[in-house]
Amino acid sequence: MVLTLAERSSLIAPSATLAMASEARRLKAEGVDVLDFALGEPDFKTPENIQEAAIRAMRAGHTHYTPPAGIPELKQALADHYTRKMGLPTQAAQVLISNGAKHSIHNALMAVCGPGDEVIIPAPYWVSYADLVKLTGAVPVVLTTTEESGFKLTPEQFLAAVTPRTKLLMINSPSNPTGVVYDRSELEALADAVLTTNVGVLSDEIYEQLTYGDARPTVFATLRPGLAERTITISGVSKTYAMTGWRIGWAIAPTAIAKFMGDLQSQETSNPCSVSQYAALEAVVGPQDSVRLMHEQFVKRREYVLGRIETLPGVTCVPPGGAFYAFMNVSAHFGRTLGGREIKNSTDFCLSALASAHVALVMGSAFGAEGYARLSFATDLKTLERGFDALENFLKG
């Protein structure tokens, strides 16, 4: 055959969350009433003021190419937002607007990593991190964190893994899939450890506005002097504003790196969608009432979910301090037969739950943590109730 796949094709697998979601969609198309807790996207509609801003942008003729790294208004709005509200002095030239935070992460990794480099990723990790690192030719170095330590990386663990080839540490607080939020003091300790090395940081803060109770988000780059010069901060509008389909995320990076990411984007995709950028601008500078209303719903759903997990036999969960996931330890069920299938691992568990209880979850193995299943509670309470009833029945065997 002439047209064969490049070696690179063996480096990545399709995103497991999207794969579970597509299996759930397939069943739905067959008429099955699937209770879908697989995908990490808010079920809310994008707030009206944001939709209106997009319509206005279209009517005003903002339907053409934009500068590759984003429209100046949005870059400036984000620079102001980080400078004034987040305590991170930021120039517009340090801001890159991309087709979603995922794209910003890809660009950031392409900017700083290459063959021979190592990137430290604490597990459980978001599904795409390791594959995006591999695409650059660098090697993901996965450090396992456990339920007992609250799924948090310690400075000692980090320092023990650093080699002369370590280029980057990736952190994600609040975390997908565990919902774990590091305390400020824990991040400060990590920051101090990082500052004793030549390692940079990619801090994925996409769930920054979704925290619960005493948990507080922290902009990692602000924690110590000198940290901003070695940190790339990632965020976006997908989760906070229920805008997953609009595909707008961003990176805040040292100027030279931000410039390269923009150049890269100019060759790869030209620019993020023009209309979506104007919608994101309204999201960032417009009224924030809808964010508060959505947050209130997430608080209720989280409480409901934790209450139901408590009474699920053989299932435990570290209460999430942020994001909208419950990372359930289901390993007590391994060795049993559920839904007619022998459960040997988290994939068996999730496939059987989907096939027999019509409940879509994502297997922990996709996040580098066998023994778990992730439930997204970005779904209305009625569906959650039906889902937990179905799970309860499923676990009876």
Ligand X SMILES: Cc1ncc(COP(=O)(O)O)c(C=O)c1O
Question: Which residues here bind ligand X, judged by CB under 6 A?
Answer: 40, 100-102, 126, 172, 176, 204, 206, 236, 238, 244, 249
CA trace torsion 53, 58, 63, 68 (10° rounding): 0
Shortest reach from residue 283's CB to ligand X, in Å = 12
DSSP 183-212: -HHHHHHHHHHHHTTT-EEEEE-TTTT-B-
Task: Quote the CA–CA distance of 187 and 231 in Å, as a whole number.
Answer: 13
Residue 303 near residue 212, CB atoms below 8 Å: no
Other beta carbons within 10 Å of 184:
13
Shortest reach from residue 15's CB to ligand X, in Å = 9
Pair type for strands 231-236 and 249-252: antiparallel
Task: Quote the CA–CA distance of 206 and 242 in Å, as a whole number.
Answer: 12
Task: Quote the CA–CA distance of 364 and 347 in Å, as a whole number.
Answer: 8
> Which CB sits closer to ligand X, 144 or 198?
144
> Which CB sits closer to ligand X, 100 or 262?
100
Residue 170 near residue 120, CB atoms below 8 Å: yes
Shortest reach from residue 106's CB to ligand X, in Å = 10
> Which CB sits closer to ligand X, 66 or 107?
107
> Which CB sits closer to ligand X, 126 or 394?
126
Task: Quote the CA–CA distance of 121 and 38 in Å, as a whole number.
Answer: 22
Tokens for 127?
Answer: 């599904």
Shortest reach from residue 389's CB to ligand X, in Å = 27
> Which CB sits closer to ligand X, 102 or 167?
102
> Which CB sits closer to ligand X, 138 or 242?
242
> Which CB sits closer to ligand X, 90 or 172?
172
Shortest reach from residue 121's CB to ligand X, in Å = 12
> Which CB sits closer to ligand X, 129 or 158?
129
Shortest reach from residue 151's CB to ligand X, in Å = 14
Tell me the residue type at 151.
F
Shortest reach from residue 101's CB to ligand X, in Å = 3
Contacts of 288 (CB under 8 A, 6+ apart): none
Shortest reach from residue 245's CB to ligand X, in Å = 9
Give 369: exposed, middle or buried? Use CB within 10 Å, 0-12, 13-18, 19+. Answer: buried
Shortest reach from residue 332's CB to ligand X, in Å = 27
Sign of CA dihedral 40, 44, 49, 53: positive
Nearest to 92 by CA among 107, 109, 118, 73: 73
> Which CB sits closer to ligand X, 94 or 238?
238
Pair type for strands 316-317 and 325-329: antiparallel
> Which CB sits closer to ligand X, 236 or 339?
236
Shortest reach from residue 17's CB to ligand X, in Å = 7
Task: Quote the CA–CA distance of 99 and 277 in Å, as a whole number.
Answer: 10
Pair type for strands 200-204 and 231-236: parallel
Task: Quote the CA–CA distance of 307 and 103 in Å, as a whole number.
Answer: 36
Q: Dihedrals φ, ψ of 81, to 5°?
A: -60, -45
First to last CA, the chain: 49
> Which CB sits closer to ligand X, 46 or 238?
238
